[in-house]
Amino acid sequence: MPKFDSPIGSKQFQGQPMRDLSVSDDSGYDQPPPRQARHVHEPMPEFDERAMREFQSQMQEPGPSIREMSDIEKNIHAAKKAKREGKERLSEGARRRIEILIGMTRLTRDVEIAGQMYKLQTLTSQELRDAIVATAEFDGSVQFIFENRKQLLARAVTVVAGVPIDQFLHSDELEAKLEFIELIDHALLHRLYSEYVSVVQEAQAKYSPKTEEQAKEVVEDLKK
């Protein structure tokens, strides 16, 4: 029985037992059970410094660009097509021999105009054909003479004011050379064209038959 003591007296009284209260949880939340720590002992992989350096080196090496890959694929396709059609390209050795022959047979002429040095050359068959084809659309018009002269000189002039034309224009593109011919003075253009015609005539005289017998030999060779 519970008892109460104090300086002024004491008293005993009947106590009541404690009641257990239960409160329901309507939140729907279930508290997860406490996690137990897991001790997993796994061996750490060894660090291979050499392999890592090789991997980084491979990642830093520049690979072929998309354009280079496209060019390679085009070259392969063109080579296969030429082989199927029996039109394989010239080997590097054959091309080099042709370039040497062109260098031996192509005539050039140095021309000094107003204290500046210019150089002209005769054209190959391919260069001459390209110039004629580019001029053909102007046939029968006033522009034909001007366009023909421009196309020929753009391929024939190799040195301007003592400087190779590619360096002078900072470009080896044909379009840049055509634009240069358009911009130079007409009197200078006329002089350069006259010199070009002269060197072409010199080449024709050099390689044409000199005698009637030689001319007949050429005709007979053509008939074979």
> What is the CATH classification number for the domain harbouring 165?
3.30.2220
pLDDT value at residue 125: 86
Question: Is 175 within a domain?
Answer: yes
pLDDT over threshold 60, residue 66: no
The pLDDT > 90 percentage for the chain reads 39
Question: Is 85 within a domain?
Answer: no
Counted domains in the chain: 1
Question: Is 223 within a domain?
Answer: no
Residue ranges making up the domain that contains 170: 107-207
Residue-wise over 162-187: b if at least 16 C-beta within 10 A, else e?
Answer: eeebeebeeeeeeeebbebbeeeeee
Question: Is 31 within a domain?
Answer: no
Place 26 in a pLDDT band, splitting at 50, 70 and 90: low
pLDDT value at residue 56: 64
pLDDT value at residue 43: 59
pLDDT over threshold 70, residue 172: yes
Please compute the mean of the pLDDT values over residues 110-125 and round it to a whole number: 93
What angle, 0 to 180 degrees and rounded to 10, lies between the N-to-C axes of helices 125-136 and 143-156?
Answer: 150
pLDDT over threshold 70, residue 170: yes
Question: Is 66 within a domain?
Answer: no
Question: Is 75 within a domain?
Answer: no
Question: Is 170 within a domain?
Answer: yes
Amino acid at 195: E
pLDDT over threshold 70, residue 13: no
pLDDT over threshold 70, residue 171: yes
Q: Which residue has the higher pLDDT, 187 or 56?
A: 187
Please compute the mean of the pLDDT values over residues 29-42 and round it to a whole number: 55
Q: Which residue has the higher pLDDT, 211 or 129?
A: 129
Please compute the mean of the pLDDT values over residues 64-88 and round it to a whole number: 63
Question: Is 100 within a domain?
Answer: no
- On average, the pLDDT of the chain sits at 75
Secondary structure class of 203 (helix, strand, coil): helix
